[in-house]
Amino acid sequence: AIPVRSSRLPLLSDAMPAPAHLFPLIRNSEIGRICSTVCYCHHKHLCCLSHFAHSHFRYAPQRKFAALCKPKENFNQFIHARDYASTPQRFYLTPPQVNSILKANEYSFKVPEFDGKNVSSVLGFDSNQLPANAPIEDRRSAATCLQTRGMLLGVFDGHAGCACAQAVSERLFYYIAVSLLPHETLLEIENAVESGRALLPILQWHKHPNDYFSKEASKLYFNSLRTYWQELIDLNSGETTDVKEALINAFKRLDNDISLEAQVGDPNSFLNYLVLRVAFSGATACVAHVDGVDLHVANTGDSRAMLGVQEEDGSWSAVNLSYDHNAQNEHEVERVKMEHPKSEEKSLVKQDRLLGLLMPFRAFGDVKFKWSIELQKRVVESGPDQLNDNEYTKFIPPNYHTPPYLTAEPEVIHHKLRPQDKFLVLATDGLWETMHRQDVARIVGEYLTGVHHQQPIAVGGYKVTLGQMHGLLTERRARISSVFEDQNAATHLIRHAVGNNEFGTVDHERLSKMLSLPEELARMYRDDITIIVVQFNSHVVGACQNEEL
C-alpha cells in the first residue's frame, strides 16, 4: 500500500496492549495520564478523520471519531506530576545517550569567504532533524547555485507518507536554478546534452549522508527537467529573470510534472508505483534564496521562515518571512473561497481543514485534491494492484465538485538584509507547534553570540518554594553551560523545543522522557522537527548596503 503519514492513534484500552517497554520509562500514576490523553489528535493533516487498518489508510465518518479526540493536556503536567502512588522508579537516558539521539542527523556547512563569484553574505548554516514518525516524513535541502549567484535552502514537510517530500527535496532546487539561468547558459546546457558532452554543474549540494537521492528515478526526473528548460529556451524573452517569478514558476512547474508523470505512468513497474506514491502523497515547502543582501523566501504550506534581528540594546526580535497557508490565515481562506462557486462556501473549509480533511491549503502532490473524479478513477483502475487495492487512493473527498482545490503556488517575500539581521531559521511546523518565534530568536541569538540576557524568572502562577527557586536558578546556570554541549545551532534549538519545561529551561528529565517515548506515543506529543539555521555575515551585508546607497 502507499506509505501514509505515520499517524496511528491506538487506544491503549481496547485497540492494543500498552507496550511493555514503555512502563520502565513512566512513573506509576503517569500511566493513567497517558491512557487518558492517548486520544489527543495532534496530527495535522488527514489524521483525526481517519482510522488505520493494517497498512491501508481509510477515511471514516467524522462524527465516529470526534468523540475520541480530546483536548491536549499540558504535557508539563505529565512530566512534572508529583502525586505518585508509590516510590517512583526512574529509568532515564543518560546525557551522552540524549546527545547521541539529538546529534544523529546534524549537519553544518561553512561558506568560503570568497566563492569565486562574489563575497558571500552567508557565513554558513546548521541543520538537523528529529523524527517523530517512522520513517521521518520531513526532508531538507541546501545547495549553492554554480551558474548563477546565491544559495538555496529549504525544508519540506510530507504527509500521507514521505514520497512527495523526498521527490520535492531532490528536484525543486534544480527547477529553481534552471529558472534563474540566462538564455545563453540554457542553450549551452542543451547543446551539451544533444552532443553527449559533459554538462555544466548547476548545483553544489550540501547534504547529510542520510539525505539520499532516488537513483532509480534520476533519468525520469532529468527528462522532465530537460523538457522544462527546452520550453524556457523557446519562450526566451531576452529579459533578465526576476527571482520572485523564477521561484513561482519553478514551484508550479515541478508540481505539474509530478501530476503529469503519475498520469502517463512508466513501463517500469517500480517507477510506475513510485510516481503514483509521490503524486498521491503530499508535501509543503519553505525555501530561501540568498544572493548578497537579497533574501527571497518562497513558502507553500505551513512550514515557516523567521529572521533573527539583534536590536541596539543587544536583545533579539523575530521577523516573520512567511505566512501559514491554513485556516488560521483569513486571507488564505478568502482566496480559496474566491476560486470556487458560492454554493460551495460552507463545505470548502470544515473543522479548519480543506474539505474537512487537509490542514495545509497549499501543497505539492495531493492529486486527490487536484484531479477530477474521472481522472482519479482512471489512474487508480489502470495502476498497479498496490494502488488499486488501497482504500485511501480510491476515496473521493466529500463535496468534491470543482477541482482543483489545492495549489503548490508559493507566496514569495523579498527582504533586503541589514547588518542587524543576524540569522534565518527555516523549520517545519514541528518546531513552531512547540515554540514561539520570539523564544526561537532569543535562543538562537544567544547561542550564536554566547551572550545571555538574563530575565527575571517567571513562574507563571505556580507556587514556588525557596528551594525550588534555587533549583530553577541552578538550572539556568546549567542551561548557559549547556550551550557548549552543542556545536550546531539547530541541535541546540531542538534540545529546547523538546526539553523545555514550563519555566523555559531545558529539563534533562523531561528531555530524556520525550526521547524515550516509543513510536506509538512519540507522534502524539510532537511532529517531526526539521530546522535550518542560516547565519549571515554582517560585515558583508553592511558593505553591500553601503554600495547600494
Q: Write the pLDDT tens digit of every residue in 303-347.
A: 999 999 999 999 999 999 999 999 999 999 999 999 999 999 999
Q: What is the pLDDT of residue 59?
A: 29
* Confidence category of residue 80, pLDDT binned at 50, 70, 90: very low
Residue 254 has pLDDT above 90, yes or no: yes
Residue 170 has pLDDT above 90, yes or no: yes
> 266-295, pLDDT tens digit by residue?
888 899 999 999 999 999 999 999 999 999
Residue 453 has pLDDT above 90, yes or no: no
Q: Are 376 and 388 in contact (CB under 8 A)?
A: no
Residue 36 has pLDDT above 70, yes or no: no
Alpha-carbon dihedral of residues 95, 101, 104, 106, nearest 10 degrees?
-70
Average pLDDT over residues 451-462: 53
Residue 30 has pLDDT above 50, yes or no: no
Q: b/e string for 175-209 if b means 16 or more Cβ within 10 A?
A: bbbbbbbeeebbeebbeeeeeeeeeeebbeebbbe
- DSSP secondary structure, 464-521, as one string: --HHHHHHHHHHHHHHHHHGGG-S-HHHHHHHHHHHB-TTSSB-HHHHHHHHHS-HHH
Average pLDDT over residues 46-59: 31
Percent of the chain with pLDDT over 90: 60
Highest mean pLDDT among 112-121, 148-157, 232-241, 516-525: 148-157
Residue 263 has pLDDT above 50, yes or no: yes
pTM of the entire structure? 0.80
Percent of the chain with pLDDT over 70: 76
Question: What is the C-alpha end-to-end distance of the chain, expressed in Å?
Answer: 59
Average pLDDT, the chain: 81
* Confidence category of residue 549, pLDDT binned at 50, 70, 90: low
Q: Are 122 and 150 in contact (CB under 8 A)?
A: no
Q: What is the pLDDT of residue 388?
A: 66
Q: What is the pLDDT of residue 463?
A: 59
List the beta bridge partners of residue 364.
283
Q: What is the pLDDT of residue 477?
A: 61
- The CA-atom distances, in angstroms, between 32 and each of 18, 68, 202 are 11, 16, 56
Residue 226 has pLDDT above 60, yes or no: yes
Listed in sequence order, the residues at least 6 apart from 354 whose beta carbon sits closer than 8 Å to its beta carbon are 336, 348, 360, 361, 369, 405, 406
Pairing outcome for strands 138-145 and 107-110:
unpaired
Length of the chain: 549
Average pLDDT over residues 62-89: 39
Structural domain spans, the chain: 95-547
